[in-house]
Chain A
Amino acid sequence: MSVSNTLISSVITALLGSGLAGTAVQLYHARTTRKELDLKAQKQPVEVEQVILGGASQAVTLLTSSLQWAENELVELRRDQSSDRREIRRLSESVEAKDARIRELESELLILKERFGMVQQQLDHALNQVKELKENGNGNGHTVV
């Protein structure tokens, strides 16, 4: 082992040793804290327990409020959904009504076209008669008024 390795080894050993010493100190603190808390808990067990469990209670409160928020969001979404459905239904009814009206107008248009055809025929017929009468009138030397 070279000199630098020996030096590094010593430093690391010292570092790890100090770490273990730190662990021992921390464990000692844990022990004294435990004794202290036990003593306090004997005096007023409920208060200490409440304080220790305060964090848990806060977490539960936070979760509860999150849950409440999620539920409210869900209710809001459901309301929106139902309103959208109503709108869709209304639009669909309106479309159906318009389709029916279009069909009705189309059939009326057909009837009108038929009538127009008939009137056209009658007009043609009348014009032919007028023409014939005019020709006949000219041949007889009379004037048709």
Chain B
Amino acid sequence: MPLWLRGVLMEDQFKLFIAVLCMISGIPLVIRAVPAPGSLVVVLSTTGIRLWGGSLGLGGTLVVIGILLRHVKARRRYIEGLMVEAAGLIPLGLAALVVAVLAIYVIGTQALFGASVYLMFTFACGARFWATQQIVKQVRLAIQLEEDGRRERQ
């Protein structure tokens, strides 16, 4: 088994699974290959539904690309992979938030459990986005300090 695949399966298996799931749920909605969820159909226009599907598909795709960049080209593209993953988390989190809100709005308290799951997903996306930003900030700071140190040594 290649090293990068091993890394993906050992560290990011859940993220990859969720991202692929979002990708294959969102993209068919954009091309209208599958019917949209009921609570979305009631409220959103066709454009809105496509936009929602697009957010889901794009988010999932970017997260997958980010994970692969981090593992396949770990030496040169680690930071970029993190940032691409963070970029994918924004539409994913928003798409989940929209479903949660619409489920409560259309169905009412009966949809509370489903809505909670989507809200937790939004929360997880937010937490991961924050974490990636922190890592990127730390690495940039470390690079800067390294540069300063090198200059002083010279």
Please list the residues of chain A having a beta carbon within 8 angstroms of any beta carbon in chain B: 1, 5, 8-9, 12-13, 15-17, 19-20, 22-24, 26-27, 29-31, 33-34, 37-38, 40-41, 44, 47-55
Asked if residues B79 and A34 are in contact (CB atoms below 8 Å), the reply is: yes
Cross-chain contact A34 with B80 (CB below 8 angstroms): yes
Shortest CB-to-CB span from A61 to chain B, Å, is 16
CB distance from A18 to the nearest CB of B (A): 8
**Which of A5, A20, A38 is close to B43, meaning CB atoms less than 8 Å apart?**
A5
In the complex, 11 of the A-B residue pairs with CB atoms within 8 angstroms, ordered by the A residue number, are A13-B45, A13-B47, A16-B51, A20-B51, A22-B90, A22-B91, A23-B88, A23-B91, A27-B84, A47-B147, A48-B146
Q: Please state if B51 and A52 are interface contacts (CB–CB under 8 Å).
A: no
> Which A residues touch B78, using CB under 8 A?
52
Nearest chain B CB to A55 CB, angstrom units:
8
Residues of B within 8 A of A15 (CB): 94, 97-98
B67 to chain A, nearest CB (A): 14
Q: Give the bracket for the number of chain B residues in contact with chain A.
A: 35 or more
The verdict on B83 contacting chain A, using a C-beta distance below 8 Å, is: yes
Q: Report the nearest B residue to A5, measured CB to CB.
A: B43
Interface residues of chain B, those whose CB is within 8 Å of chain A, are: 42-45, 47-48, 51-52, 54-55, 58-59, 62, 75-80, 83-84, 86-88, 90-91, 93-95, 97-98, 101-102, 105, 135-136, 139-140, 142-143, 146-147, 150
**Secondary structure class of chain A's binding surface, majority of residues:** helix
Smallest CB gap from B84: residue in A: A30
User: Which A-B residue pairs are the 8 nearest by beta carbons?
Assistant: A30-B83, A26-B87, A19-B94, A34-B80, A22-B90, A19-B91, A23-B87, A16-B51
Which residues does chain A contribute within 8 Å of B76, judged by CB atoms? 37-38, 41
Name A21's closest neighbour in chain B (CB-CB).
B90
Specify which of B45, B47, B48, B142 is in contact with A51 (CB 8 Å cutoff).
B142
| Contact across chains for B54 and A20 when beta carbons are under 8 A apart | yes
Q: How far is the CB of B33 from chain A (nearest CB, A)?
A: 20
Whole-angstrom distance between the alpha carbons of A29 and B129 in the complex?
Answer: 14
Question: In the complex, how many angstroms separate the beta carbon of B132 from the nearest chain A beta carbon?
Answer: 10
Query: In the complex, what distance in Å separates the CA atom of A138 from the CA atom of B83?
Result: 134
CA distance A17 to B94 in the complex (A): 10
A25 to B127, CA, bound (A): 19
